[in-house]
Amino acid sequence: MPRPCRIDDCPRMALPRRTVCSTHRERIRNWGDPDFTQWTVADDMDVRLLVEQQRVPDGATRLERRLIGVGLSARGMSAAQVAEVVGVDSRTVHRWRASARQTAA
């Protein structure tokens, strides 16, 4: 059953197993859409896969980096290891972990 694209006012249907249409997906990939900020766009499917692969693509949004970082932490990686994979300071990883714990509580 196809679902509509989750972007407000988008008339297109989402791609199979995705929450956005192909156009918005490309825009998210490239950070090109002014409707998006780096903090609010993440693709659930991608994040899960990337955590498994311990990989962060060049076009990853800030939120995706954070979700991947938290995912890797949950798998027992040290903050320093996570920081290296995600490409941030290890202090940032500690901050992500702290706020993820708060959200879960």
Residue 29 CB, nearest approach to Zn ion (Å): 13
Q: Applying CB under 5 A, which residues contact Zn ion? A: 5, 7, 10, 12, 21, 24
Nearer to Zn ion, 11 or 76 (CB): 11
Nearer to Zn ion, 25 or 65 (CB): 25
Give CA–CA dist 92/85, Å, rounded. Answer: 13
Give every CB contact of residue 103 below 8 A, 6+ residues apart in sequence.
none
Nearer to Zn ion, 33 or 84 (CB): 33
Rg (CA), the chain: 15
Residue 26 CB, nearest approach to Zn ion (Å): 10
Residue 45 CB, nearest approach to Zn ion (Å): 16
Element (H, E) at 74: helix 62-74
Give CA–CA dist 7/14, Å, rounded. Answer: 10
Residue 6 CB, nearest approach to Zn ion (Å): 8
Residue 17 phi/psi, 5-degree rounding, is: 65, 20
Nearer to Zn ion, 41 or 70 (CB): 41
